[in-house]
């Protein structure tokens, strides 16, 4: 996976996504996080100019998201605990130029400048980190479980869902909620197997659950665990 690239927009952090599939820039604000998709050879200076031109619009979109996001219990300060694959890791906030979250010696370390936007920046940095982990780990798990389910490895993407952990589209593409990465490994396996089995049966019939049970005999325990604890994982 390519190393993530970021630009400090003075009040927000923009992730730079370089691609061969675009000939012009596209600035996005999704879940309060800013990204700019550009052709691969676009200079950082040019990207900075694009962000400066749209700074007012970006800040308005970020502020709107903050207003619409229900206040949670997290303050995004050093010492707070965040779950990853069922284990809790303490957050360590360092003051300085922005640096994305890294898991170092059992701590989630992030560097952000001081300012009123610091908690928002830390939250977005954590979401970006979870999404990167989800892309890597879920691709690995799909490749591992697909042969056991009896299907070819499908296309996969990471999404944000409010009330589901995964989805199988009519075209056979699997979509996974990045927040499942807070659950224990076995629960992640269950969600992957569940969606892979939808490639065999696109329903929740007894035959479908029979396919899930053939691969994961303890699937009912996993499903019940997610029902009981799922609300805690979405409270980032």
- Per-residue pLDDT of 170-189, as tens digits, reads 999 999 999 999 999 999 99
- Identify the band that residue 71 occupies on the pLDDT scale cut at 50, 70 and 90: low
- Identify the band that residue 197 occupies on the pLDDT scale cut at 50, 70 and 90: very high
Q: Give me the pLDDT at residue 74, please.
A: 85
- Identify the band that residue 235 occupies on the pLDDT scale cut at 50, 70 and 90: low
Residue 73 predicted with pLDDT over 90: no
Catalogue all structural domains in the chain, each as residue range(s) with its CATH number: 5-68 (no CATH), 81-126 (no CATH), 130-233 (3.30.2010.10)
Q: Give me the pLDDT at residue 233, please.
A: 73
More confident residue, 184 or 97: 184
SS3 labels along the chain: CCCCEEEECCCCEEEEEEECCCCCCEEEEECCEEEEEEECCCCHHHHHHHHHHCHHHHHHHHHHHHHHCCCCCCCCCCCCEEEECCEEEEEEEEECCCEEEEEECCEEEEEECCCCCHHHHHHHHHHHHHHHHHHHHHHHHHHHHHHHHCCCCCCEEEECCCCCCEEECCCCCEEEEHHHHHCCHHHHHHHHHHHHHCCCCCCCCHHHHHHHHHHCCCHHHHHHHHHHHHHHHCCC
Lowest mean pLDDT among 55-59, 66-70, 78-82, 205-209: 66-70
The phi, psi pair for 42, rounded to 5°, reads -70, 130
Q: Give me the pLDDT at residue 70, please.
A: 64
- Identify the band that residue 2 occupies on the pLDDT scale cut at 50, 70 and 90: low
More confident residue, 234 or 83: 83
Query: Which pTM value belongs to this model?
Result: 0.85
Q: Give me the pLDDT at residue 146, please.
A: 98
Mean pLDDT of the chain: 91
């Amino acid at each position: 996976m390519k190393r993530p690239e970021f630009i400090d927009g003075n009040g927000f952090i923009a992730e730079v996504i370089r691609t061969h599939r675009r000939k012009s820039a596209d600035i996005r604000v999704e879940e309060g996080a800013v990204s700019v998709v550009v052709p691969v050879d676009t200079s950082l200076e040019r990207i900075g100019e694009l962000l400066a031109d749209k700074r007012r619009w970006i800040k308005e979109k970020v502020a709107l998201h903050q207003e619409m996001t229900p206040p949670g219990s997290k303050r995004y300060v050093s010492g707070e605990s965040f779950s990853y694959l069922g284990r809790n890791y303490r957050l360590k906030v360092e003051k300085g130029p922005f640096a994305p979250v890294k898991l170092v010696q059992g701590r989630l370390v992030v560097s952000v400048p001081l300012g009123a936007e610091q908690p928002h920046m830390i939250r977005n940095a954590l979401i970006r980190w979870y999404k990167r982990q989800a892309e890597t780990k879920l691709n690995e798990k799909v490749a591992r479980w697909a042969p056991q389910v009896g299907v070819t490895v499908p296309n996969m993407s990471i999404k944000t869902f409010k009330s589901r952990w995964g989805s199988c589209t009519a075209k056979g593409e699997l979509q996974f909620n990045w927040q499942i990465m807070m659950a224990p490994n076995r629960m992640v396996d269950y969600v992957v197997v569940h969606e892979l089995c939808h490639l065999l049966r696109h329903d929740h019939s007894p035959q479908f659950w029979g396919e899930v049970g053939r691969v994961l005999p303890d699937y009912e325990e996993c499903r019940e665990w997610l029902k009981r604890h799922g609300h805690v994982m979405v409270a980032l």
